[in-house]
Amino acid sequence: MTAEQDPAQAAAVKTEIATLGAGCYWCVEAVFEHIEGVSTVRSGFMGGPLADPSYAAVCTGQTGHAEVVEVTFDPAVLSYEELLSWFWRLHDPTTPDRQGADVGTQYRSAIFYHDETQQAVAEASRKSADASGAFAHPIVTEITAAGPFYEAPADHQDFYRANKNGSYCQIVIQPKLRKLELED
């Protein structure tokens, strides 16, 4: 039986991947896990030359990697442009190498595109967000071709859902979710 004849495969959802850096990946992950059309979110690292970096190495700010989330989404439900709209709202894209108290190159604002279409949409989205007047300063978000994705340790995945009562989640993540009207 070919794929064209298999109804289960024909009905399979076509998904795309977006890779985004917007500060601490726990905060970004928590937001995207609440967005309709997103099927999975994995925290990890991208953007540096070191192969298979550890969390400790990335935290030094010396590896060149950014903390990122790899978002798998259904473009029939959530377009890449809509996903980027959430990206602009969930962090401050005008602060180089910083989000709140998190400082260092690993916390930079970045869009890692996976093809030319994503690159064009990302550049247009950044231009539109910059011109919108929503930000007091110019957007500094880098738009770069995706490289290897290195998954963060298992205890860093799905962090908010596993640690809702933890102080970091209550002080940093929950206010962000409330601000975006996403809190469960």
Q: How many residues does the chain have?
A: 184
Question: In CATH, what number is assigned to the domain containing residue 116?
Answer: 3.30.1060.10
User: Token pair for residue 128?
Assistant: 């539109």
23 closest CA partner among 135, 88, 89, 108: 108
Q: Is residue 152 part of a domain?
A: yes
Q: Supply the pTM of this predicted model.
A: 0.91
Q: Is residue 184 part of a domain?
A: no
pLDDT tens for 13-60 read: 799 999 999 999 999 999 999 999 999 999 999 999 999 999 999 999
Q: Is residue 1 part of a domain?
A: no
What's the number of domains the chain is made of? 1
For strand 150-151 and strand 66-73, is the pairing parallel, antiparallel, or unpaired?
unpaired
pLDDT (0 to 100) of residue 101: 87
pLDDT tens for 94-135 read: 999 999 889 999 999 999 999 999 999 999 999 999 999 999
pLDDT tens for 52-81 read: 999 999 999 999 999 999 999 999 999 999
Q: Which domain holds residue 128?
A: 14-179
Q: Is residue 175 part of a domain?
A: yes
**27 is annotated as an active-site residue:** no
Q: Is residue 6 part of a domain?
A: no
Single-letter amino acid code for the residue at 99: Q
For helices 80-90 and 25-32, give the axis angle rounded to 10 degrees: 130
